Chains A and B, each alone.
Chain A
Amino acid sequence: MKLNIEGLLVYFPYDYIYPEQYSYMLELKRTLDAKGHGVLEMPSGTGKTISLLSLIVAYQRAFPLEVTKLIYCSRTVPEIEKVVEELRKLMEFYTKETGESNNFLALALSSRKNLCIHPEVSSLRFGKEVDGKCHSLTASYIRAQHHSNPNLPVCRFYEEFDSVGRQVPLPAGIYNLDDLKAFGRRKGWCPYYLARYSILHANIVVYSYHYLLDPKIADLVSKELAKKSVVVFDEAHNIDNVCIDSMSVNITRRTLDRCQNNVDTLQNTIHKIKETDAAKLREEYRRLVEGLKEANVARETDIYLANPVLPDEILQEAVPGSIRTAEHFVGFMRRFLEYLKSRLRVQHVVQESAPQFLKDVFDKVCIDRKPLRFCAERLQSLLRTLEIADIADFSAVTLISNFATLVSTYSQGFTIIIEPFEDRTPTIANPVLHFSCMDPSIAIKPVFQRFQSVVITSGTLSPLDIYPRILDFRPVTMASFTMTLARTCLCPLIVGRGNDQVALSSKFETREDFAVIRNYGNLLLEMSAIVPDGIVAFFTSYVYMENIVASWYEQGILENIQRNKLIFIETQDAAETSMALEKYQEACENGRGAILLSVARGKVSEGIDFVHHYGRAVLMFGVPYVYTQSRILKARLEYLRDQFQIRENDFLTFDAMRHAAQCVGRAIRGKTDYGLMIFADKRYARADKRGKLPRWIQEHINDGSLNLTVDEAVQLSKHFLRQMAQPFRQEDQLGLSLLTLEQLESEEMLQKITQIAHQT
């Protein structure tokens, strides 16, 4: 259907539209009009992706000069593929309606592992291996050597692409990963490099977060993307953690040992080269004196995305003399490495700031701040000069040099924590140096500064106002949308007491309490008897789950549960978990019924959807607070308090509630789906916790579903499940939660729609 969104003609590829989709598009349009950033929360399963795509594509067509590109960031490969399929549907609709094929180019980009078509390289199993092997076939000096010595293997796909691929742009169309591969095979071009080259002139790019947020990758892939782009981060409820992870470094003894080997190899290679080709090293030296001026020129003309690892000031200067020659640099690295080793030989926990660390480095091994800042650049240059083919082997030394650059560049927002052992195993020495980023805004700042509009969206972003604070940006729109429903298909219940009136809670003091554990067991047992097919139960941590399950086993509760349903458990082992998941789904399919015990923040809680019968009920045992004794977390909380005036408790609660919302949100994946959401902890009934749940869940929690006993919850659930099992047809939704064009345009409906978006 064709919609009119405040004067903009939007083609929408379906005959029906949800009211909240219309509302979402309105907000999105306002964001784009204002050329600002937005935070939008809309429940999953209400067609967020297609609304985003339809509106932004329409906007691009209407104002080709205002918005040139859409950069859609998603988390996983299946999600990327789903976005591309929706886009394909949209483009087919455009072609059908307008009768002309538009020259839109949209493509997905992923790692070499997912795009390689080289018969040997693509058969490798791990991403790192593929990258390394690819580099050893396509590096510039390898190809130069290939000219003189044709026996040296190179990648023929890359050669072919390099010789002709850049001249003709990729024909307009929609390309998912398989399409790119097929196209590459047909032409004999490397799909990965073709995609990387094509994103520069593509209208829509769909790729992973890391291509924008991880400074090491962003620098390679995304730095030349146009300023007038719209960036969308989908499923962005964890974006702050992604930012922090991309800037943090952990160094163990193993890393240092491998780094030692790397440095030795470098030394040997330098010796060899000195004997054979001294001119090459001299050339490098000259280049370093010239400095990074060229990069500086590029950044001034605003071509490049700023690189947070390499701040502007560095570019003004040349590489300092002390590390300019190759031998000096290797010696320098050796000193630094020895220093780190000495720091790891500690008996007690050390926490210090970056300036303290630098002062200590200077006192102990006389290394200045300045050369440290150039460490990463210098190493890259050296690796290029030495013509080292397999970069993958040098990951340890690269990590150390990145650390050196980061620690000397940022005096704020980072902390260094050295722990001699893990908290859980205080007898085993396993020293770790955490260089931990505490400020997610550092990694994402370049994105906000560079791009015209950045939209952060997810099903669970409540409370909305905290994201702009921790990411340090000023949004023009912030809105939360509810789900309009023809029938109440979600049933959130807060169970606060057992049948014996013992308060249920996972808080630390009652964690070991026998009565609480028994009541949790009873809750699961009763639920397993009345909920059909699949139940997913989330615990707050692996340790807690193990304790409880062991205790249930002793009390014979597990045995009783198994009479009703099979039990599967998520473990930290990915292969084991995916096996359990597969069998779980099979049991749901066959009518045997199953329970999946898993952990909030685990793999299951984030990426796996439990549609329809795979998740008829989700139980959340306890409030999933993060492990508060961790020093990294403590440091971060302190930083948030000092810098952003966010109270520790507020942040912890926010973090716990977003994970709880993620977990229970797994069960409802659309309007025809239905599911119970059971929060088993009396603390959920408090206003400060409840108020942080997404609005689309909150509005279904009424006073009657607070602080229930197990029996009361069972009665309510039974009734709910029977109601939901009654026939439900599309006609029942029509006019209420599903609209035709005429219904949408009626005065009354437009009135209603304005109430869907909840501005904050």
Chain B
Amino acid sequence: MGSAQGGRVRLTQSHSGRDTVPVQTEKMRHLYVVIDCSRSMEDQDLKPNRLTSTLKLMEAFVDEYFDQNPISQVGIITTKNKRAEKLTDLAGNPKKHITALMKAVDTVCVGEPSLYNSLNLAIQTLKHMPGHTSREILIILSSLTTCDPANIYELIKTLKSLKVRVSVIGLSAEVRVCTVLTRETGGSYHVILDESHFKELLMLHIKPPPASSSSECSLIRMGFPQHTIASVTDQDAKPSFSMSHLDSSSGPGLSLGGYFCPQCHATYTELPVECKVCGLTLVSAPHLARSFHHLFPLQAFIESPVENLQGDRFCQACQAELKDKSVFSCPSCHSVFCVECDLFIHESLHCCPCCIYRQTAP
């Protein structure tokens, strides 16, 4: 109970800090998550062990990430035995990542991780990402050592010049090199206290980071392909191979329907994706709309003690009686909410229900 309470305080803090100053945030993110699979991941201080617990949280993370950042991409790298391997490439499809993560539960944890190799592997892809998008690496590090083939401080300089933001979540204690790495590249460094804290820290990375002022500002060409569903009886329809199946071995992917790139008419079974033929970013309108709320974040509600409240002591959202010491009121419509609803509104709804109600029914 104590830690849950603490978690709420932390969340509301991080929240109000960000929301009071509306900042421009990254819309298109390219994030590599590096998961440490070294010997220390077998430690059982997270149940059942660190690896399983991490992978489980990662599944939730990937889901939530694509929910909040629909036109962004994620890739997963694992590191063990002084090497780094790509588990999944940068891609915008949560399903692929989640299957890979589920499979990874059986990995044998051996040796030491290598920060250098994992960062290097991530850079290889990230450096080709266009400048108007964010380049991020999130490292989940359980080990306290790293085995590097070269001086990591050189690599940190490279990361800095490439504007790659590196954040670290430590599972055991504060390691100096990570402090430097995150400080230099503008990322954040946290160490978990327990599993619920771990989850909170992970979820902090779902919110897009503020866009660096120096990032290129340009109009982005995007295609909005239409989903065509053709019936087999239709004579005009020609079956085609989905381009997204090119590099995966699962199924032939020959179908009649799908999303057709408006520029080159390549077929894709899912969105968002970058067209393999002409390089156009293909999204659907709902995707864009979902990342819209980051542009106009909902203002933080004003916290006030419950005694000051006049009239009915009921939360406007859930209609429950206000029993906590403090209540939250929307600065624009002055409706009052309980702490649970405040969290729910800011985390999931992203708009004040009472404001919306007033707009629709004046």
Contact = CB atoms under 8 A, between A and B. Distances in A.
Interface in A509-564: 529-533, 563-564
Contacts of A590: 146, 148, 151-153, 177
Nearest to A566: B145
A564 B144 contact: yes
Interface in B150-194: 151-153, 170, 172-179, 190-193
A532 B193 contact: no
A281 B144 CA distance: 75
Contacts of B175: 532-533, 591, 613
Nearest to B176: A613
B340 interface: no
A297 B324 CA distance: 87
A723 B179 CA distance: 16
Contact of B176 (A530, A564, A589, A722): A589
Interface in A651-679: none
A726 interface: yes
What are the nearest 8 A-B pairs in CB distance? A591-B177, A725-B191, A613-B176, A725-B174, A721-B173, A532-B173, A532-B144, A532-B175
Most central of B112, B152, B177 by chain A CB within 10 Å: B177
Contact of A589 (B40, B112, B145, B177): B177
Contacts of B173: 530-532, 616, 718, 721-722, 724-725
A602 B151 CA distance: 32
Interface string A296-332: 0000000000000000000000000000000000000
B115 A591 contact: yes
Contacts of B177: 589-591
A491 to B, nearest CB: 12
Interface residues of A, number: 25
A588 interface: yes
Interface residues of B, number: 26
A409 B193 CA distance: 67
B320 to A, nearest CB: 33
B147 interface: yes
A612 B174 CA distance: 11
Nearest to A717: B173
A592 interface: yes
Contacts of A533: 144, 175-176
Contacts of B179: 613
B146 A592 contact: yes
Contacts of B192: 722
B51 to A, nearest CB: 16
A604 to B, nearest CB: 20
Interface string A575-598: 000000000000011111100000
A532 B174 contact: yes
B209 to A, nearest CB: 17
B347 interface: no
B321 interface: no
B200 interface: no
A113 interface: no
A591 B145 contact: yes
A565 interface: yes
Interface string B109-139: 0001001000000000000000000000000
Contacts of A588: 176
B193 A723 contact: yes
B176 A721 contact: no
B145 A721 contact: no
A530 B172 CA distance: 7
A717 to B, nearest CB: 9
B45 interface: yes
Given A592-B147, A724-B173, 6 more contacts: A529-B144, A530-B144, A616-B173, A723-B193, A725-B173, A726-B191
Contacts of B174: 532, 721, 724-725
Interface string A718-747: 100111111100000000000000000000
A725 B179 CA distance: 10
Nearest to A588: B176
A592 B82 CA distance: 12
B191 A565 contact: no
Given A718-B172, A725-B173, A726-B191, A591 B45 contact: no
Most central of B39, B147, B179 by chain A CB within 10 Å: B179
Given A722-B191, A722-B193, A593 B145 contact: yes
A592 B145 CA distance: 5
A726 B176 contact: no
Nearest to B193: A722
B104 to A, nearest CB: 23
Most central of A592, A721, A722 by chain B CB within 10 Å: A722
A600 to B, nearest CB: 26
Contacts of A529: 40, 144
Nearest to A715: B45
Contacts of B153: 590
A564 B173 CA distance: 14
Most central of A532, A565, A589, A724 by chain B CB within 10 Å: A532
A661 B191 CA distance: 30
Contact of B178 (A564, A591, A592): A591
Nearest to B173: A721
A596 to B, nearest CB: 15
A532 B176 contact: yes
A180 to B, nearest CB: 36
B144 A593 contact: yes
A589 to B, nearest CB: 6
Interface in B191-223: 191-193
24 contacts: A529-B144, A530-B172, A532-B144, A532-B173, A532-B175, A532-B176, A533-B175, A563-B39, A563-B112, A564-B144, A589-B176, A589-B177, A590-B151, A590-B153, A591-B178, A592-B148, A593-B145, A612-B176, A613-B176, A722-B193, A724-B173, A725-B190, A725-B191, A726-B191
A112 B19 CA distance: 63
Nearest to B174: A725
A616 B191 CA distance: 16
B361 to A, nearest CB: 45
Nearest to A726: B191
Contacts of A723: 193
Contacts of B39: 563
Contacts of A718: 45, 172-173
Interface in A8-48: none
Nearest to B39: A563
Contacts of B190: 725, 727
Nearest to B144: A532
A591 B172 contact: no
A533 to B, nearest CB: 5
A587 to B, nearest CB: 9
Nearest to A614: B176
Contacts of A592: 145-148
B73 to A, nearest CB: 28
Contacts of A613: 175-176, 179
Contact of A591 (B146, B191, B193): B146
B45 to A, nearest CB: 7
B310 to A, nearest CB: 35
Contacts of B145: 564-565, 591-593
Most central of B45, B147, B176, B178 by chain A CB within 10 Å: B176
B172 A532 contact: yes
Interface string A353-365: 0000000000000
B40 A591 contact: no
A751 to B, nearest CB: 31
A565 B176 CA distance: 14
Contacts of B193: 722-723, 726
A721 B170 CA distance: 11
B228 to A, nearest CB: 52
Nearest to B111: A563
Interface in B273-309: none
A163 B39 CA distance: 74
A557 B89 CA distance: 41
Contacts of A726: 191, 193
